[in-house]
Amino acid sequence: MDNIKNYMLPYQGKIDGTPKGSNAARCTRVYEQIKKIAEKMRYPKWEEIRIGMDTFSSSPSAHSSTNIIYIPPMFLLDPSEIPSTFKGLPDNSPLLQNSQFIDSFIYWLNLNLDLSDLTPESLGTFQREQVVLFLKMLEKPDIYEKAKEFVLAHEIAHLYFNHGEEKVSSWNVIGQLRQASRWRNYEKDADIRAVETLCEKEGGIYLFKKFQEHFKHLHHTPQEKVVDKVLSSMLFTSKGDVRFGNSDHPSESERIEYISKVKLPFKLN
Ligand SMILES: [Zn+2]
């Protein structure tokens, strides 16, 4: 599925803190953001964290043995640099069902993230759906920023708890099937630690509600290819939970519920 390999050659693998090229400023910004959150979490090795670039269709993941957090290219984008045409769209916007519109955003990503081999043709159905999900996240750009911070804090929490290698992160719904069952508790611990560190739960709840809405949509949408059709009805319940969530991962509903219940101290800015 990961047919996009040379997506960002200067950044592949480990980033040493001084990346070169047009994405350098973006990498540095995310790197500084990660370090700031890790320090706030009181993670002892916060200064030694590194970031690495993962493939286009990947999701952020943490490797505690190497102290690296891997992020996909779309994670580098700040909503302020994305044209307004692609932002503020409600989940039911006809544009999100319009393949030419989605293609135009894929070409925009190609140009602006230097993803030379990213084209609409290079993406499988579910990779393309990740692009659609990203556009849905941009409905409220300020809350999307909070959701992104939540995801980063969640990954840092995996390092903090020394959870080992998150081979498949919980944001990658297809890959979840292969994750070990102990990650169910790890995910919950990381979610809660993230919310407590940031003193903020709006981002996490927004994220999981967007996931739910999109999975529900996928469950009900007829897919063109037979295998995708089988996968989408198999993976997502009509409520929008990932079907396998109950065995290996907390479901989106569970995650929204326990995040909502976290008691936060009074927030000082
Ligand atoms: Zn995780």
Q: Could you read off the pLDDT of 126-158 as tens digits, one per residue?
A: 788 889 999 999 999 999 999 999 999 999 999
CA 8 – ligand 1 centroid, Å: 24
CA 153 – ligand 1 centroid, Å: 10
**Is the pLDDT score of 260 beyond 80?**
yes
Tell me, what's the pLDDT at 19? Answer: 47
pLDDT class of 113 with cuts at 50, 70, 90: confident
CA 249 – ligand 1 centroid, Å: 9
CA 187 – ligand 1 centroid, Å: 5
CA 264 – ligand 1 centroid, Å: 21
In total, the chain counts a number of residues equal to 269
Neighbouring residues of 177: CB distance < 8 A, sequence distance ≥ 6: 244, 248
Looking from the CA of 80 toward its CB, the CA atoms found within 13 Å total 3
CA 190 – ligand 1 centroid, Å: 6
Among the listed residues 36, 58, 61, the one whose alpha carbon sits nearest the alpha carbon of residue 46: 36
CA 101 – ligand 1 centroid, Å: 31
CA 104 – ligand 1 centroid, Å: 31
User: Residue 69: left (phi > 0), alpha (psi -120 to 50), or beta?
Assistant: beta
Among the listed residues 187, 184, 200, the one whose alpha carbon sits nearest the alpha carbon of residue 147: 200
**Is the pLDDT score of 47 beyond 80?**
yes
Which amino acid appears at position 117 of this protein? D
Question: Cβ(90)–Cβ(136) under 8 Å?
Answer: no
Tell me the mean pLDDT in the region 47-74: 86
Who wins on pLDDT, 123 or 10?
123
CA 233 – ligand 1 centroid, Å: 24
**Residues 244-255 pLDDT 10s:** 544 456 888 999
CA 61 – ligand 1 centroid, Å: 7
Neighbouring residues of 63: CB distance < 8 A, sequence distance ≥ 6: 69, 70, 165, 166
Tell me, what's the pLDDT at 54? Answer: 80
**Residues 14-34 pLDDT 10s:** 444 444 456 778 888 898 999
Instruction: Please state, in angstroms and rounded to a whole number, the distance separating the CA atoms of residues 47 and 67.
Output: 10
CA 169 – ligand 1 centroid, Å: 5
DSSP string across 74-86: GGG--GGGS-GGG
Rounded percentage of the chain residues whose pLDDT exceeds 70: 74
Tell me the mean pLDDT in the region 95-121: 91
CA 64 – ligand 1 centroid, Å: 12
Tell me, what's the pLDDT at 184? Answer: 77
CA 162 – ligand 1 centroid, Å: 12
CA 227 – ligand 1 centroid, Å: 27
CA 269 – ligand 1 centroid, Å: 27
CA 186 – ligand 1 centroid, Å: 7
CA 182 – ligand 1 centroid, Å: 11
CA 191 – ligand 1 centroid, Å: 8
**Is the pLDDT score of 213 beyond 50?**
yes
The DSSP output letter for 208 is H
CA 133 – ligand 1 centroid, Å: 19
CA 224 – ligand 1 centroid, Å: 31
Tell me, what's the pLDDT at 7? Answer: 40
